[in-house]
Amino acid sequence: MHPSEATLPTLNKLGFVSSDFNNIDALSVAQNWIQAFGSACEADSVQQILDLLLESNFVSPSLLKASPPASELNQEPSVYWRDLLALTWDLRTFESTPVIRQFLQDRLKLSEIRNVKINTTDKGAFPAFQLPYPDLAWIQALFKFETRLGFGSGVVRLVPTKKGDGVEWKAHCILTNLEDLKGFPEKIGHLRNHNTDSGSWESLRLKEREFADQDPPVIIIGGGQSGLDVAARLKSLGVNSLVIEKNERIGDNWRNRYEALCLHDPVWYDHLPYMPFPPNWPVYTPARKLANWLDSYAEAMELNVWTSSTVTKVVQDPNTERWNVTVKFGPKDSAIRERVFNVKHVIFAQGFSGGRGFIPQYPGMDVFKGPLLHSLQHRKATDHLGKKVVVIGSCTSGHDISVDYAGHGVDVTMFQRSSTYIMSTKKGLRLTLGDFYSEDGPSTEVGDRLVASFPNLLNVGMSYRLTQKIAEADAELLDGLKKRGFRLGWGYKDAGFLLSAWAKAGGYYLDQRCGK
């Protein structure tokens, strides 16, 4: 067994084999468990809830530490409770029975979980018996609930445990997620604006965007997908915000990259709130097409955005706990102005990778007569027709740029500095995301919650197995790369794409056409 698999509730740990589960009524099992869970919550009974969960003292090693050798691994199944703001006002994952017990003792009675009901209506939410691997089996179900202050959604995965000669299904992993605060509904549907326009809409929008005589309660630094997402959500809740974007136009963070750039994740993964992509949108979006969509999204959603603006200083007043945010703004052809906002909240939405490009230093660079460019500076292959080009780096940008050069007849060599994890979008990405984001899959909202319900510590083992499965599907591609001397890697902790993306923001390539 690979060390990363220690967190998985395998059937051999639980004392079963897959043939024990030929006729499972997943709906009935899920209904019974969720009803019992709801009753335990109504009673504020920590012990009753714990009785519905696997009992486990297993604590997995940190993702940032070296995994222990397989011989030292604990053989009992793990148990998790992941809470996203619903009970803790934070993003927390609790592992093992003692830790979950303490969490419930601290938060259960204060939270007042009530009206727990199974969710069978949302697309992709119906309870299902799943056998992701021959030695892994669970029943996945979604539910809804209320707390003292809000409305929540949940996901539970039930695994079989021995009870005499029978089976008792207990929770291996629970997600509780805050959806809405009571008294603060989104202004959508029946709550949308019903007033007719009397000719003042444009002037009111201009005044709202300028903030000439007031400060917004929230400043959002960064006008990419996340910044716009948050601004749109806040606006629908009646909270005004100002997005500060350094580029001249919304979308320039995509528009100003190389022309061959195309998203490698599928359309169902990339929807923005309230304004999903149309049904004829391509599965993989060209970067400039996405840039234009983001620009139009900000306009359609009436978001307050200052472009060509930069936050230069953020200081909190210790007495009021408010933030003084200094913003420099103004287009390139005009004088730069400065304003200090006093706000309650500052949200950083600057992305988790990218930014300033790093160029390694090599002997002789100072005497090289040709241009030295980072991928952030590269625009298109036709800029170098008739030249010989060396691309240093063999991950996403390196592959994209190299195949663009090759397609335009430019003599190009890609130099590989270290091993790269490779999987195809055609097969590998479908295996990775297909159960959550696809044409026939769950709604994006349900898919997001299902993905969030897997704690990272559990994801290591699942991703390790998935990586092996993808390698089998991509065998022809990977064998061809090996024969050409390409150094293949298995990604962070041998767990392939997803963990490499989150832990390193690099080290991989999702192949679309370059590999062959």
Query: Same domain, yes or no, for 159 and 268?
Result: no
Looking at the domain assignment, is residue 73 inside a domain? yes
Query: What pLDDT is attached to residue 71?
Result: 47
Query: Which CATH number fits the domain that encloses residue 252?
Result: 3.50.50.60
Query: Same domain, yes or no, for 52 and 106?
Result: yes
**DSSP letter string over 85-148?**
STTTSSEEEEESHHHHHHHHHHHHHHH--EEEEEE-SSTT-S-EEEEEETTEEEEEEEEEEE-S
Query: What pLDDT is attached to residue 431?
Result: 93
**DSSP letter string over 413-447?**
EEEP-S-BEEEEIIIIIHHHHTTTSSTTS--HHHH
379 is written with which tokens?
């625009």
Looking at the domain assignment, is residue 362 inside a domain? no
Query: Same domain, yes or no, for 342 and 450?
Result: no
Query: Same domain, yes or no, for 323 and 417?
Result: no
Q: What is the pLDDT of residues 170-193, one digit of tens each?
A: 999 999 999 999 999 999 999 999
Q: What is the pLDDT of residues 90-119, one digit of tens each?
A: 999 999 999 999 999 999 999 999 999 999
Would you tell me the crossing angle of helices 475-483 and 456-473 to the nearest 10 degrees?
Answer: 80
Strand partners, 160: 169
Query: Same domain, yes or no, for 205 and 169?
Result: no
Query: Same domain, yes or no, for 400 and 479?
Result: yes
Query: What pLDDT is attached to residue 332?
Result: 76
Domain termination site, one of 181, 212, 242: 181
Query: What pLDDT is attached to residue 336?
Result: 86
Query: Same domain, yes or no, for 130 and 252?
Result: no
Query: Same domain, yes or no, for 77 and 118?
Result: yes
> pLDDT means per 10 residues in the chain (516 residues)?
82 91 94 98 98 92 57 73 98 97 98 98 96 95 98 98 92 98 95 85 92 96 97 97 97 92 92 97 97 98 97 96 96 85 97 74 89 90 93 90 92 92 92 94 96 92 93 94 92 86 84 69
d(CA 219, CA 241): 6
User: What domain range is 147 assigned to?
Assistant: 3-181
Query: Same domain, yes or no, for 204 and 341?
Result: yes
Query: Same domain, yes or no, for 169 and 206?
Result: no
Instruction: Report the number of distinct structural domains present in the chain.
Output: 3
Q: Are 312 and 324 in contact (CB under 8 A)?
A: no
Query: Same domain, yes or no, for 22 and 152?
Result: yes
